[in-house]
Every structure is written in structure tokens, then in C-alpha cells.
Amino acid sequence: MEIVTSWEQKGALQALELLAVNLLREGMAYEAIARVTGLTVERVQQLQAGSVTGTSG
């Protein structure tokens, strides 16, 4: 049961990060993305650094 919970949490985090990347592509500010997704501003910035050149899947 714990494995499923861990897997679900990882999937939810990946979905939030994908949302953040899409919002970055639309030009939304880091702080707004952090508020909407619950991610830290630092994580949003890291995602942008990886998403500008493309993300691996």
C-alpha cells in the first residue's frame, strides 16, 4: 500500500511540474506559478531552466 501512495505522490508532483512548465511557456511569473501549483519559486525557476531547451519525458 505504501508503494502505491508513493507512486501516486510522485505522479501528482510530475503533473504539477508539467503544469508549471506550461504556465512558464505562456509567460506567467514565477511567483504566480508557485502560488497556483504549490511549488517553490526556486523549483519553478529550475523547471524553466530545463524547459527552455526541452524536457525529457
Q: Where are the domains of the chain?
A: 19-43
Q: Give the angle 56-29-11 at the CA atoms, nearest 5°.
A: 40
52-57 long-range CB contacts below 8 Å, 24 or more apart? 55/21
Residue pLDDT, tens place only, 23-52: 999 999 999 999 999 999 999 999 999 965
Q: Is the pLDDT of residue 57 over 70?
A: no
Lookup result for grid cell 512558464: 24
Say what the pTM is: 0.78
Q: Which amino acid makes up residue 38?
A: G
Q: What are phi and psi of 39, to 5 degrees?
A: -75, 160
